[in-house]
Amino acid sequence: MSNSSPAEMRDLIVERLTGATGDPVRVTDAAQALAERCLASVVPAFAEAFPSAVTFECVEVRLSRFAEGRPPEKSPWAMTIAASDLSPDALLMTMEPDALSLTLAAVFGGDETLPLVPIERDLSPIEIDLAAQVFDIFARAFNGSGERSLAVRFPLPRPITGADMAKQVIRDGPAVSVTFEARLGPNTGRIHITMPQRVLAQHRGDGAAPSRSGAAAWRERFNEEVMRSAVQLDATMPLATLTLGQVAALEPGQIIELSGTAPTQTKLHAKDKTLFVCEFGKLGQNYTVRITQPFDAQQEFVDGLMGTEAAGGRRH
C-alpha cells in the first residue's frame, strides 16, 4: 500500500467511503434488467405526455464512475440529480441536445421525416421544462413501487445546463450507466441514467427484493457515531433572590449564604436542553450530582403555575 500512487490512494479512499465495487457481471445484469423493466413504463408515459410516437431502446449498460456522468463542460445538455430516502444522489440523469430537439419536435408536432436542428446555444426555459418532464418520466420508471422502490424524492430538482453543470458538486464512486436512445422518424437522441452501485445493489442486487434493513443499518451506524460524541453537562440550582444592586456589588471570594429552605434539587443541562432533575451530594472528597428523575417540562410548567398562585395568595 505504501507504493500506491496518489490516484490509487484517492480511489481507495473513495471506495471505502461509498462502498466497494460489486461483482461486474451481477451489477451489469441487475442494471440491464432494471432498464428493461423501466422501458415498459417509459413508453406509455411518454406517449401520454407527448402526441408524437417516440420509441425508446436501451442501447448501452456499462460500469462507470459516478462523476463520469457529468456532461461536457458548458454544453447544451440538461442534467438533474434525483435524491432518495437513502442516498442524496440516487440517479444522475442527463439529456443530450439531440434528445431535446427530438422532444421539441414531438411536442409541437414537427415533421418526423425532416432532420433535427441541432441545439448549439443555451437552453431556453421551454426546453428546460421539457427536460424536466422527461426526467420525471424516467425517474418514476426507475423508482418503481412497493418493496422494490428506490424511494426517489419528488418533485425532482429543476434541470441545469451549461456553466451551471460545472458548478454542480458530484460525489465520485463506482456506478453503472444506462443509455436510452429515443427515436422519432430518422432522428435519434440519447438520455443517460447513472446510478451508484451502492444504490443499485441495495435495491436491485441479485434480483432479490430490497430490504429496509439498509436504512436501519445506516441509522444504527450514524447513531453509534452520535453516541460517541462528547457534550458538556452543566448542573445548576437556584441559590437566592438578590436585588440588581446586590448582584452588582458581588466580589471575588464573597460567600453567598443559602437559606434553610433553599432547594436541594438541581437540573442537568446539555447544550441548553434540560435532561434530568438531580440533587447535590458528596462522595468521599468529591462533590457529586445524583440523578433522581428525568426532567418533565409539563410538570415544571404546572409547578411554576402553582408556585405563582401560592405567592399571589400570600400577597392577599
| Digit-coded pLDDT (tens) for 145-203 | 877 788 999 999 999 999 899 899 998 889 999 999 999 989 999 999 999 998 888 77
For residue 58 the three cell numbers come to 436501451
Q: Which residues of 130-145 are buried (b: 16+ CB within 10 A; e: fewer)?
A: bbbebbbbbbbbbbbe
- At 206 the pLDDT is 46
d(CA 12, CA 248): 61
pTM for the model: 0.61
Mean pLDDT, rounded, of the chain? 81
| Digit-coded pLDDT (tens) for 125-148 | 999 999 999 999 999 999 988 777
Classify 141 as helix, strand or coil: helix
Contacts of 38 (CB under 8 A, 6+ apart): 138, 141, 142
- At 263 the pLDDT is 67
For residue 255 the three cell numbers come to 460567600
- At 210 the pLDDT is 41
d(CA 237, CA 153): 47
Domains of the chain: 6-214 (3.40.1550.10), 233-241+257-315 (no CATH)
List strand residue ranges (DSSP E) for the chain, in order: 55-65, 78-82, 91-95, 174-184, 187-196, 233-236, 265-270, 273-283, 286-294
User: Which residues, in sequence order, are bridge partners of residue 118?
Assistant: none
